[in-house]
Structure 1
């Protein structure tokens, strides 16, 4: 797996003065005491260390949760074939791209849009699969970057789409993004936001850690977004100067297809629970499928 990276450890040491060889060695030594975990390349460990702000104990926990969830949630992480009809179909409905250029802080922009469609065409699990495949390939090619900024175009996100999302999978994905991400998220911007989305957020707010919820920003127009993301790197169909989102989406699909072998090999990077020593890391995440908020969600009237 190490050979799939386009960056080297030397590159990472140059980018990150906080990175120490002895810290990588400590994580690798710890992993030898965790026989349930797969063999993780040094460069992958660096990604987790960076996402955890170089805190080694947090890094260990995140690595364990990352591979545990990748093993448990087959809907997201099994059969990840970029040439499959599943990925081609979701890419048409739900373009997901990493913009080619960084923002002034060096962050990279993940742009997501749900096109107008019959809710039956929207497959949440396939969307997450396409999303994680995109971010993984980006990290293979770029290694660490200061952070990830996510832009969600919510114009066609409505009640039908919301209720078509299996609650258990929504809960699983929220846990994965909050407890197992291999990159630091700096901001989540929602454009073409409307009252339905605001209503959703008012209900699901307790599900997010406060520091995560603080990253969410609603925008009623593009001029508001241009204050934080330069116009010149934004897709042309959003008033920017870059390629259109569809053009970028097609390029992304082509790139993912070139990593088909990686996704086949990556299937072995899973945990073996029969070899786990002790208990799995305890989750700090509130389960979507239980608790007071579930009854509140069911009573909420979406127009």
Structure 2
């Protein structure tokens, strides 16, 4: 059973409609809102804290294009040593506040050879290579234990976003995201095998959050920023600095894409 921490009244009374999880190097987006307040994770009893560069570690909530939005400016990862139950806590918390739509963003390595750093990909489906699942354990009142995963990422909203991006001259791919535990990057042999089973991009997040959100009946959109080519496809070694640098280069386009997507939600 998930026990949610007590939150300040200013947040519980805010009643957000949309939740956004901001991936590595993408936290700047939260500042584009008309910010109403901030809540550092460190001030939430029993809440995990972000330990990875590029993840600020706070909730930022406010209004964006007339929508009430709450952003996770920094997410948690399995490789940080947190349990799957801990990774699911923020999604349960945002659900309890009232969100009906969740945008999951991430920085990802491109496996599809038509992708290049700085591209964006709408997630159509995912492959769970984490070796575990946040639903493992006793079922409770939070949702179905045997959750259907045949349509995790909302097709109708995806089609609207795709059309909007085309009209806005933003190149937007659609593809399958594969999640590994990290924290090391994948080997070239692993990338070749992932391509064989249908993965277009690879990362170390998003899937646990998507599973929980699906269980809770939240509408989900996944958006990857392709920050690097995956191992064996790039000329040099992979690094977190490259991820952050690429995310920074495309920040304006990413912000425009996400603002347009939220407006459609």
Return the TM-score normalized by structure 2: 0.31
Kindly indicate which of the two structures has a greater share of residues assigned to helix. Answer: 1
Q: Which has the larger radius of gyration?
A: 1
Kindly indicate which of the two structures has a greater share of residues assigned to strand. Answer: 2
